[in-house]
């Protein structure tokens, strides 16, 4: 089974469409979305429609949870909180219901546990950032004892692509460029980065392809044009949604 892992779309339709176009050429069996479909940008409804049309397996991100009222924005930045309020006002009831139904965790083929923020038990694990080894260790410990027996946890939220391996008694960070072979006797935390809200000087969208049969993970980096972004916003994204719905209906 080959999976495409995406995360942190943040209502950026042009970036999502470009990412899906690349995924369509990669012969993947399923797209797994690690949350934060909405937030910050304006095309939340169109992004939800595109993700639903592609039959993505999705978990809830902290922005998704806040927009449908499952968590508060108390710990959000002012910009993030404004984005949540704007998004809530511009989504239809069906879109809000879709976000409200998203699970916080999901297991894919008993091989990968999918979360947004962290796996370790917290009241609001979708908001925990795995941005240091102490926090990553807590999620590794939760993965060691997970009832699925999975050895991979896929997470998002940090907006940075990363592969962390638990080898014997320490955490090893791999450079996520190129293809990484996954060891049968190791555990992994992997982050595909962000589709729609890059926070590095490199402004490309990123996602990862995980090949469960060949035990490999590879990072994909996607350019998308400013002209496409402007066109999508002027048109409300309707044409892009129709075009990519057709692609995934026949894939």
Q: Which domain holds residue 179?
A: 2-249
| In the chain, alpha helices (H) | 13-23, 44-53, 62-67, 78-90, 93-101, 133-144, 226-234, 238-249
Residue 206 has a pLDDT of 96
Residue 71 has a pLDDT of 94
Residue 251 has a pLDDT of 47
Residue 241 has a pLDDT of 52
- Is residue 48 packed enough to be buried (19+ CB in 10 Å), middle (13-18) or exposed (0-12)? buried
Residue 99 has a pLDDT of 98
Structure tokens at 3: 């999976």
Q: How many domains does the chain have?
A: 1
Structure tokens at 134: 């102490």
Residues of the chain with pLDDT under 50: 227-237, 247, 250-251
Residue 235 has a pLDDT of 40
Looking up residue 57, the CATH number of its domain turns out to be 3.60.21.10
Are 105 and 148 in contact by the 8 Å Cβ rule? The answer is: no
CA dist list (Å): 131 to 165, 234, 235, 236: 14, 36, 37, 35
Residue 230 has a pLDDT of 44
State how far the Cα of 237 lies from the Cα of 230, in Å rounded to an integer: 10
Residue 203 has a pLDDT of 86
């Amino acid at each position: 089974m080959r999976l495409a892992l995406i995360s942190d779309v943040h209502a950026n339709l042009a970036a999502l469409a470009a990412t899906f176009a690349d995924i369509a050429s990669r012969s993947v069996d399923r797209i797994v979305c690690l949350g934060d479909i909405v937030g910050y940008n304006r095309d939340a409804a169109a992004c939800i429609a595109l993700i639903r049309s592609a039959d993505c397996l999705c978990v809830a991100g902290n922005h998704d949870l806040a927009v449908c009222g499952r968590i508060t924005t108390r710990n959000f930045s002012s910009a993030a909180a404004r984005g949540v309020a704007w998004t809530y006002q511009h989504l239809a009831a069906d879109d809000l219901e879709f976000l409200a139904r998203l699970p916080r965790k999901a297991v894919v083929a008993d091989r990968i546990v999918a979360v947004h923020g962290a796996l370790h038990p917290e009241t609001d694990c979708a908001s925990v950032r795995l941005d240091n080894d102490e926090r990553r260790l807590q999620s590794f410990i939760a993965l060691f004892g997970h009832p699925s027996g999975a050895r991979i946890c896929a997470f998002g939220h940090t907006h940075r692509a990363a592969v962390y391996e638990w080898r014997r008694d320490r955490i090893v960070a791999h450079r996520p460029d190129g293809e990484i072979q996954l060891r049968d006797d190791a555990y992994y935390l992997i982050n595909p980065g962000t589709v729609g809200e890059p926070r590095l000087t490199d402004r490309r969208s990123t996602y990862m392809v995980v090949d469960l049969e060949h035990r490999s993970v590879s990072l994909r980096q996607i350019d998308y044009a400013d002209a496409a972004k402007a066109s999508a916003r002027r048109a409300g994204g309707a044409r892009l949604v129709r075009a990519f719905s057709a692609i995934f209906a026949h894939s």
